[in-house]
Structure 1
Amino acid sequence: MSTDRPAGDVVDRRAHELDTIAAVLPLERRDELAELLTDQDVDTLRHIVNEGMAENTLRALTSDLAYLQAWSLAATGRSLSWPAPEALLLKFVAHHLWDPVKRETEPDHGMPAAVEINLRGQGFLKVTGPHAPDTVRRRLASWSTLSKWRGLSGAFSSPASGLQFG
């Protein structure tokens, strides 16, 4: 993860804003989320709460957003892109759906070791080996949904990518 962290007052403000929707978010992760999510992410989550989305759905979207943000920072050194460019979507898929047999002979196949260590160190990566396709599909669907709520469209349905999550 990048060592460039938002200024303390920005993180404190985000934490306070997350408190306004704390009834549906895990309190023990508030500070972590405040540091990881952007102001626009928090605004999007607040919008979801105000629209009356089910608590479990909001928790799942928040968890997916936090994972995607952590992955993007670890993999690219930058916050998650909005809208999602096709290359970043393909990178996400390549990092998460890879062939364990091929990795035995090609250690660079799949998620790079530095990204894996970073995510594991933050508690975001718990599995060893490739992710379940349904998990990857759900996270991409969450990214697509959050993009739409921001009034954006990414390459989620791009024929070139073969992805159909939009």
Structure 2
Amino acid sequence: MADGNRVTEGPVFRRIDQWGNVDRRALTPQSVNLILKRRCRQAGLDPMLFSAHELMSGYLTKATNRGVSLPEPMQQSLHKSLSQAASHYNNAERKNGRAARLIV
């Protein structure tokens, strides 16, 4: 719920109308991606190199690389499917697994 413009529960990233009113609904993934690309362009970065999906994927990978069990970052990334989120986790496991350590 939003108290004025202060979010106290529910989605953190929400729609804001032209008058500055905070909506109860979350931004769509497409909106997040457009905002990210616009901000990258403003920062002088190539927006083609960045996507909201890659940020989420990087977050899951980094969390699992640091030993966080998969259900915890899934709560934040809002993955509903364990198999979908597990692909990121499995990539992290392969990178840090015993077989990978034999290569270095």
Same fold by TM (over 0.5)? Answer: no
Task: Give the alignment's TM-score, normalised by structure 1.
Answer: 0.27
Higher helix fraction: Structure 1 or Structure 2? 1
Q: Larger radius of gyration, structure 1 or 2?
A: 2
Of structures 1 and 2, the one with the larger relative CO (CA 8 A, separation 6+) is 1
Task: Give the alignment's TM-score, normalised by structure 2.
Answer: 0.36
